[in-house]
Structure 1
Amino acid sequence: LGMTGRPGDKPGVIRQRRELPQDIALWQDDASLARIHASKDSFGTLDRPQGEVRWAKVVIGPSTGGQPGAFVVAFHPERERAVADKTFWTLLALSGVALLMTTGIGWAVAGRILAPVRLVRTTAAELTEQDLTRRIPVEGRDDIAALAETFNAMLDRLERAFAAQRVFVDDAGHELRTPITI
């Protein structure tokens, strides 16, 4: 930011957002300041060797019959774009790392949460008609533990039903092998 008086006057720098390299500082470029001051427009662009400069000015009337001054704001879009690009790529990289970490943590947590369900599934897959003695170990007091208890109770009923069926088949076989006497 700066104030200019007549063309050729050194501007007074009011506030500058950051230190600029000496080859970019507009307030040291008399030719560019003269073009801005001479322009009838209140905003515009300048092509400088250091890159494009966008500017806006407000004409300030003279206090005592002199030539008016101007309040000028200028910035280099390429420089601002470079800062934004660097920020974008940094955030993109951090987001990628965060996504990978979140995915890994989620995978591990889901594996731990679903481990009891896998245990129920593998136990159910290992059951056969000949061996209904396997039971699922019940740990905790959550829904999976309640499911395991219910599954174990169902296995108890099935085991009793198969045992009763075996007794019935054995009795029926014995009766069928015994000769019928009239």
Structure 2
Amino acid sequence: MSHTNNNVSGVDNTFRRKFDREEYLERARERERQEAEARSKPKAKGPPVQRQPLKHRDYIVDLESRLGKTQVVTPVAPLSQQAGYFCSVCQCVVKDSATYLDHINGKKHQRALGMSMRVERASVKQKRKKESDSVKKGKKEKKEKAAVEETEIDPDVAAMMGFGGFRSS
């Protein structure tokens, strides 16, 4: 019966990883030196980017132009001709109208247009002007509606139906 020696010299049979402490200490010191240098150097920042506040869209979003149409989808087609809605500002394609609306109202798209996600505060003068415009618009709509109602009723038909007696003379 031969007896095997488990303690053969030069063979690591502990199956545990051994770390060189000096090497890792040196790495830590080097990293601390680099961080200290980075803190001491002034950061080279450019001027802050001025973005416009959000504003109303000046174009109509076309969601119905491709409704009910069939399209052949090929893997080699350019982005603008792929299936879905193409955003020329961000150079991306989204697959449905809801996602497209979320995209064009989202932060990434608005930043690409040069807008911040903040809304410009209205002054008192602007608020009063808007209120007076809405009051004028409401009065104008009421007058137009009344004029349309008066012209819609044919006097012969009204007399035949018995509506002729309701008007005051």
Judge same fold: TM > 0.5, yes or no: no
Calculate the TM-score normalised by the size of structure 1.
Answer: 0.24
Larger radius of gyration: 1
Calculate the TM-score normalised by the size of structure 2.
Answer: 0.25
- Between Structure 1 and Structure 2, the one with more helix by share is 1
Bigger relative contact order (CA 8 A; separation at least 6): 2
